[in-house]
Amino acid sequence: MLLPDNIHPENSIYYNGAVVLQVLQNNDKLEMLELYKRVKEKQDMSFPVFVLCLDWLYLINIAELIREKVELCS
């Protein structure tokens, strides 16, 4: 759920997406699994939640996958 009202905020896609975004801002381009590894060091996140975060960041035009690397949109 993007903004849940019945669970802790740190379990939401919104919060976890911010963690993914923070890691992306500190690195230029990262392969998806390397990005997941770095995100996992900051926040204990399952891979399906990580993929949902990437989907959400793509939908709001913040991140994209180009040549197998995730990077911020310009």
pLDDT at position 4 is 63
Q: Can you tell me whether residue 70 is helix, strand or coil?
A: strand
Q: Domain for residue 67, yes or no?
A: yes
Q: Domain for residue 57, yes or no?
A: yes
Class of residue 46 by CB neighbours under 10 A (exposed 0-12, middle 13-18, buried 19+): exposed
**Residue-by-residue DSSP string for 16-38:** HHHHHHHHHHHSSEEEHHHHHHH
pLDDT digits (tens, 9 = 90+) for 38-74: 999 999 999 999 999 999 999 999 999 999 899 998 7
User: Count of domains in the chain?
Assistant: 1
Q: Domain for residue 2, yes or no?
A: no
- For residue 31, the enclosing domain spans 9-72
Specify the amino acid at residue 56.
W
pTM over 0.95: no
Q: Domain for residue 17, yes or no?
A: yes
CATH of residue 30: 1.10.10.10
pLDDT, mean of residues 34-41: 96
